[in-house]
Structure formats: structure tokens, C-alpha cells
Amino acid sequence: MNQTLSSSRVLSGMRPTGRLHLGHYHGVLKNWVKLQHQHECFFFVADWHALTTHYDDPSIIPASIWDMVIDWLAAGVDSESATLFIQSLVPEHAELHLLLSMITPLGWLERVPSYKDQQENLKEKDLATYGFLGYPLLQSADILIYRASQVPVGEDQVAHVELTREVARRFNHLYGREPNFEEHAESARKKMGKKAVKQYSQLRRAYQEQGDLQALETGRGLLEAQQNISVEERERLLGYLEGSGRMILTEPQSLLTKASKMPGLDGQKMSKSYENTISLRDTPADVENRLKRMPTDTNRVRRTDPGDPEKCPVWQFHLVYSDEGTRAWVEEGCRTAGIGCLDCKAPVIESVLNELKPIQQRAAAFEAEPELVKRIMKEGSEKARAVALETMQEVRQVMSLKSLE
């Protein structure tokens, strides 16, 4: 891991939906690309999550995985900077899911809003299954097994991260007190260097003896900044700082991804189910045609009718792609019928094609080397698995599952 990266771990996953479109690119992938240079990042394909809704036709999932992963790589998500992996290649996620299921009250899952909503939305499917109820808890296992502190997600996933926090808290409360905790904490503390240890001890005393919240905050910051201690040791020292016992699982925060401004070709949200997408790997001719055919302000029937950009989906594209000058040209030209709609679309078409060009070049390179893509995911999954195993060893131990050793 790059030493300049902050110590907080980032994790996010995507269900394998096949080829991705500009909405994914602007909403999620660009953000991942940025995060991978700032934090230690884990990005993964949630193929088991796909099974919760596609259990009746799983055969399409493998192709969807590879299509999606090629688009990640094409967009600049990079296996050197982030750990990329496939959920089902790290079976410990399932083990942690099972163990967490022991301590998770049914009511917590039943009241996650997506549970009832999705059952309503996907009425044609029978989602009254055990697996579907457990969807957010599997997600909790995904997050907690890496002790991720930040989880970039859209609005619809925030409740799942909140559940994850509650589950982690309950877990730590139930299993976080080990008899030789103070001894462990002490040895971890010694690794920090004299000055930091002294400061840590003072802050801990100030918080525990006087309830000084500022000292607690400063102490947390101090631990975050330590490079020489492992994630596990940091958790232990955090627990020691707070006097709560050890925090075995980290409570994550959601890192809310702003809703993508990228509209679909009809002005609604870009989404496969609305058939209004531009896919990252659509050919330039296709992209051009689709943009040329996309609807405009419906009041602008003839070339001589003035229009209103506010009522036109093309304007939304200008908001994403065009500079001030071009936008002013559109506003003026549209309202006075000075320009035609095809004129107006020309700079958008050019920008989209320019944006897609390097993405498509990279995609073609990866498409030509399926073995390379497989290797990237295999190696990433092995790396992820090693990290997941560290957590599981502790989890098994505190849940008294190591009796044969």
C-alpha cells in the first residue's frame, strides 16, 4: 500500500449488471478512480447479491461479471491502485454472513426500506426468500470483513450501511471483551513511538477521567495517523481509548455519492430499464445516431419555432459537458430559433465521443485479453481473501469457534 494514502479503508461493490453506461461512469466509476489514489480501496463484484434476485436464471451472471469488470478497467479503475475482486471467490463473506445472522434480530432486516420496496417493484419475482431478506446483512459482512471505514454508495444504500453500523456495534458489545485485552493493547501501544504513546496516554486519561470529548477526538486522530500499527492494533487501541473493550469490527460511514447529473436520452435518470442509455462500449456511429435522434423541447416542432432549454433533455447534456460559452450559445440560439437542434447537439456529440474514445480503446485492449482480466480478478480476490481471513480468525476466536486448536 502506498504510504501517502490515508489509513481509512474504502470498500464498495456493484452487482454484476453487464455492460455499464455513462450514468455509471459519471455517478460511480469516476469517483472510484479518484478514491483509489487517496485511500486503500477494495472494489468488488457482488455476484452473490445478484443471486438474491436472479436465482431463477443464474446462467447470465458470469458474462455480466466480465462485461462489467472490463468496463471498470476501461474507465480507469486500476488493479495496481485498488484491490479488485469477486465476492464468491472470498467465501469468508458467507461465513461472516452466517455468524452475523446469529446476532441480528429479524426486525432489523424487516424494517430496511429496500426490503418491502423491492418486493413491490419486482412483483413478477418471488422475493419472499430467506436470501433476499438477508441481502443487507450479506452486505454488512462484505463491509465488516475488511474493516472498511468508508463505503461510497448512492442514497438507496445508506440504510444498508446504517444496519452495518448497528450490527458491528452489537457484535463488539457481545464479543469485544477479551480477558487479556489490556495486555494486548499495551503491546500495540509500544509500537507507536515514545512521543505518540505519551500523548495517547494523556488523552486517554483526559477522556476517561474527565470525560473530555475533545481529547477523545484528538486521540482518535492520533491513532488514525499511526503508520506502524496494524488495523487490528488500531482497533484495539481505539477500544482502549474509549474504555469500551476491543472493537473487533469497525463501524463504517457511508460516503454518499452525489446523484449523477447524467440524464438519459429521454431526460429521465439514465437506466437500462428505461432503455435510454449510452453504453461505454456503444460504437461512435451508434452514439452519434442515438444522440441525433434524442427528443428535444416538444414545443419546438419546426426549425423556426423558438425553444426552451429548460424543457429539453439535450440541455441536461450541455450541463454535464459544455463550458459557459457553449451554454450561452445554446440559450440564445434556442430561445431565438437562431440554431437548429442538430446544431445544438453537435458539441454534445463531440464531447461524448471524446470522453468515450480512451475508454473504448482500453476496453478493446482488455477484451482482446480475457486471460489478463481473469488473472487480475483472481489475484485481487486472493489479496482480498488474505485480509478477510485476518478478520475471520479473530471473529472465530471471539465466538469460541477455535476449540480444535
Contact residues for 372 (Cβ-Cβ < 8 A; gap 6+): 366
Among 90, 344, 373, 387, binds ligand SF4 (CB under 6 A): 344
The mark string for 314-343 relative to ligand SF4 (x by CB under 6 A, - otherwise) is xx--------------x---x----x-x--
Q: Is the CB of residue 71 less than 8 Å from the CB of residue 33?
A: no
**Nearest one of 339, 337, 345 to 305, comparing CA atoms:** 337
Question: Per rule CB under 6 A, is residue 134 in the interface with ligand TRP?
Answer: no
Kindly tell me which of 345 and 385 has the beta carbon lying closer to ligand SF4: 345
Angstrom distance (rounded) from CA 32 to CA 44: 11
Kindly tell me which of 43 and 200 has the beta carbon lying closer to ligand TRP: 43
Question: Per rule CB under 6 A, is residue 347 in the interface with ligand SF4?
Answer: no
Kindly tell me which of 46 and 312 has the beta carbon lying closer to ligand TRP: 46
Question: Per rule CB under 6 A, is residue 64 in the interface with ligand TRP?
Answer: no
> CA 181, 168, 221 angle in degrees (round to 5)?
65
Full DSSP string of 41-74: EEEEE-HHHHHHHHTT-GGGHHHHHHHHHHHHHH
In our burial notation (b when 16+ CB lie closer than 10 A, e otherwise), range 175-201 reads bbebeeeeebbeebbeebeeebeeebe
- 298 conformational bin, left if phi > 0, alpha if psi -120 to 50, beta if neither: alpha
Query: Torsions phi, psi of 381, nearest 5?
Result: -65, -35
Kindly tell me which of 297 and 394 has the beta carbon lying closer to ligand SF4: 297
The window from 8-16, 53-61, 74-82, 238-246 that contacts ligand TRP (CB under 6 A) reads 8-16
Nearest approach, Cβ of 277 to ligand TRP (angstroms)? 17
Question: Per rule CB under 6 A, is residue 264 in the interface with ligand TRP?
Answer: no
Torsion sign over Cα 91, 384, 158, 261: negative
State which residue has the least CB distance to ligand TRP.
13
**Strand partners for 43:** 12, 84
**Strand partners for 9:** 40
Among 143, 312, 356, 398, binds ligand TRP (CB under 6 A): 143
For residue 309, the partner it binds in ligand TRP, ligand SF4, none, with Cβ less than 5 to 8 A by kind, is ligand SF4
Looking from the CA of 127 toward its CB, the CA atoms found within 13 Å total 23
Angstrom distance (rounded) from CA 322 to CA 320: 6
Kindly tell me which of 15 and 39 has the beta carbon lying closer to ligand TRP: 15
Q: Is the CB of residue 248 less than 8 Å from the CB of residue 176?
A: yes
Question: Per rule CB under 6 A, is residue 352 in the interface with ligand SF4?
Answer: no
Question: Per rule CB under 6 A, is residue 349 in the interface with ligand SF4?
Answer: no
Question: Per rule CB under 6 A, is residue 151 in the interface with ligand TRP?
Answer: yes
Among 24, 49, 318, 385, binds ligand TRP (CB under 6 A): 49
Among 9, 10, 12, 96, binds ligand TRP (CB under 6 A): 12
Tell me which H or E stretch contains 254: strand 253-256
The window from 11-19, 100-108, 212-220, 340-348 that contacts ligand TRP (CB under 6 A) reads 11-19
Question: Per rule CB under 6 A, is residue 118 in the interface with ligand SF4?
Answer: no
CA 62 to chain centre: 20
Question: Per rule CB under 6 A, is residue 46 in the interface with ligand TRP?
Answer: yes
Kindly tell me which of 228 and 299 has the beta carbon lying closer to ligand SF4: 299
Nearest approach, Cβ of 44 to ligand TRP (angstroms)? 7
Count of residues that interact with ligand SF4, criterion CB under 6 A: 14
Question: Per rule CB under 6 A, is residue 45 in the interface with ligand TRP?
Answer: no
Q: Is 25 helix (H, G, I), strand (E, B) or coil?
A: helix
Nearest approach, Cβ of 122 to ligand TRP (angstroms)? 13
**Nearest one of 29, 18, 24, 19 to 54, comparing CA atoms:** 18
Question: Which chain residues interact with ligand TRP by CB under 6 A?
Answer: 11-15, 46, 49, 139, 142-143, 151, 153, 157
Question: Which chain residues interact with ligand SF4 by CB under 6 A?
Answer: 296-297, 300, 307, 309, 312, 314-315, 330, 334, 339, 341, 344-345
